[in-house]
Amino acid sequence: MILHALNDYYRRKCDDPDEAQRLPAFGLEQKEIPFVLEIDPQGELVQLLDTRTPNGKKKVAQSFRVPQGVKKTSGVAANLLWDTLEYVLGIDTKGKPARVVEQHGAFMQRIAALPTSAQEDAGIQAVQRFFQRFDSEALQLQPAWAEALESNAVLSFRLHGDVDLVCQRPAVIQAALNVPASDDGHVAMCLVTGEQAPIERLHTAIKGVWGAQTSGANIVSFNARAFESYGKTERQGENAPVSKAVAFAYTTALNHLLRKDSPQRIQVGDASAVFWTDKASDLETAVPDIFGEAPKDDPDAGTRAVQALLSAVHKEHGPSTQDDGNRFHILGLAPNAARISIRFYYCLRLPELGRRIEQHFKDLEMVRTAHGHDPQYPSLFRLLTAVAVQSKADNIPPNLGGSMVDAIFAGEDAPYPALWLNTAVARCRAEQNVTYLRAAAIKACLNRQIRRASTQSTRLNTEKEFFPMLDLANNNPGYRMGRLFAVLEKIQEEASPGLNATIRDRYYGAASTTPVAVFTTLLRLKNAHLKKLSVPRSTYFEKLLGEIVAPVVDFPKHLPLPDQGRFALGYYHQRQDFFAKKTDGSSTTTPHPTEGASA
């Protein structure tokens, strides 16, 4: 299914109206070539051209569409008219002169094997003359030579005055498509197309997956007897027969989606997620904007993308609700040594995709703090760092990001990973601080647990989902204890303005885990604080305390982790309620479920 979808995407991109976005035809690939040997028709070196341009602190080489490179292992295998400096020029850079001689010989053999039509091309003849009169001293005088030699850079040739490389000339391209690099054309039924076709033995490596080998890794590969079956022990690809054309198509498409600065990918923890559609759609690039971190020069990009999506979901004839058969594909990849593992894959119709994304943000909906800097639609990166130690990306728990994306696209009844709830509660307890993002994470996790329990349970589920703001009718002991703690802290703050530390800094962890051991002391201490307040204010707090404690039969001895999350929500809701604008000085009322949080 995945290879089939990628093959279809490749076919669509081959006919892209934007020529710059078209994918190369079968037998070709996009390759960054940092240095180009410009030669004249007589084979004389004109210059060693550096194609790299500054990009931040790095230099990025120009990308060219060239004959597809061969699969390189530990043996010697040369590409056609482009390769590393050792292959192209036969100059040793690593102290292995004998191997370099063999490499250069293989490179020259690829050129000599071209058919007569290509041998008569002016570009090929110029390259042959270049090697006949090769002068290493002329190369050493070129300004870019030292960098090319040091890095054993990839080189190619261009005829002076041309725009295309020699390997891009029509005669060479035609020859490259008709002459295989090796005799490896076993015919079998392709598992993707169902047609009899030459089978690819070694698939092109996939690059761009975070954490995988920089040289690339494979989705389909067999390199040991333990992975082989049915006697197919000599030709690895026969264990999962995929035609050469399809193998080229799916690897080219996937490398295109994973390329640098791709607008169709995001990095979530250790999972590299890519997105594409059957037919051209703005959602291909909008969904990464929704879940990815907004660029510094446009911090509102994510908010605009979410608002556009939600508007389309609710619009009668919007693109996200009109089912035209277009499907949206989400593929999550994770590194696994020299291979790539599939973390998740979803294929959804666009209306369903819109509904699931909308549900995700509804689950996260939370009243924001008074300072106004909290994001209305937080990115996955912010949600992950909010529960990481010291809020550092390096401390995000492994697999959490991929599991969260998996839950978002699995549907509204799919639970968020338990690790997300655990880490959010743990950070609140460790830092004695319930932030907006942690409260949103806890609410989202608990609501999905409640929703899932209500659909699976045969008995009536009495617990209701949490609202974005204070719920006066919620009688859960954990939630009530959180509200009570917030009120006691507020009394202390008003009784002693300017305090550097409150009861939260000393008692939050114990209060959220073993309430009975803490609240008896806190309730006794609050009497001294109330005496410092005015009579109307003291009366207001006494009444509020009574309302909160009334439904509680007894203070719990211990709160399990989900109830510690409810404690954090009660505390956060009550704290934000104190800052809400009120006309009568009372607490805000419970909102209707469809009203949502103030934004």
Q: Considering only CA atoms, which of 402, 367, 400 is closest in space to residue 386?
A: 400
CB proximity list for 137: less than 8 A, separation 6 or greater: none
Residue 135 lies in a domain: yes
Check if the beta carbon of residue 366 is closer than 8 Å to that of residue 439: yes
How many CB atoms are located within 10 Å of the residue 558 CB?
Answer: 11
Residue 74 included in any domain: yes
Q: Is residue 198 part of a domain?
A: no
The boundaries of the domain holding residue 501 are: 471-599
Task: Answer whether 203's CB lies under 8 Å from 216's CB.
Answer: no
User: Does 561 map to a domain?
Assistant: yes
Give the helix ranges, DSSP H, for 113-227: 116-119, 122-132, 136-140, 145-151, 170-178
3 state DSSP class of 369: coil
In-domain check, residue 345: no
Quick one: pLDDT at residue 499? 86
Residue 341: what pLDDT?
Answer: 92
Per the domain annotation, does 329 fall within a domain? no
Instruction: Flag whether 542 is in a domain.
Output: yes
Domain C-terminal end among 160, 178, 196? 178
| Per-position DSSP letters for 70-111, written without gaps between them | PPPSSS----SSEEEHHHHH---SSS-HHHHHHHHHHHHHHH
Decide: residue 516, CB within 10 A, 0-12 exposed, 13-18 middle, 19+ buried: middle
Last residue of a domain, one of 133, 150, 178: 178
Two tokens, residue 183: 């005799």
Q: Which of 178, 198, 213 is the last residue of a domain?
A: 178
The tokens for 266 are: 């995001």
pTM of the model: 0.74
* Helix 561-579 and helix 418-431, axial crossing angle in degrees, nearest 10: 60
How many residues comprise the chain? 599
- Do the domain assignments include residue 97? yes
Integer-rounded Cα Rg, in Å, for the chain is 32
Q: Please give the backbone phi and psi of residue 341, each rounded to the nearest 5 degrees, phi first.
A: -100, 145
Per-residue pLDDT, 504: 94
pLDDT tens across the length of the chain (599 residues): 899 999 999 999 988 888 778 888 888 888 999 999 999 999 999 999 999 999 888 899 999 989 988 877 778 999 999 999 999 999 999 899 999 999 999 999 999 988 888 899 999 999 999 999 998 888 999 999 999 999 999 999 999 999 999 999 988 887 776 655 454 557 888 899 888 888 888 888 899 998 888 888 888 877 666 666 666 655 667 778 888 889 999 999 999 999 988 989 988 878 899 999 999 888 888 888 888 777 777 777 788 888 887 777 666 444 444 556 789 999 999 988 778 999 999 999 988 888 999 999 999 999 998 776 888 899 898 999 999 999 998 899 888 988 999 999 998 888 999 999 999 999 999 999 999 999 999 999 999 999 888 877 655 557 899 999 999 999 999 999 999 999 999 999 999 998 889 999 999 999 999 999 999 999 999 999 999 999 999 999 999 999 999 998 889 999 999 999 999 999 999 999 998 766 444 444 444 333 333 33
Domain total in the chain: 2
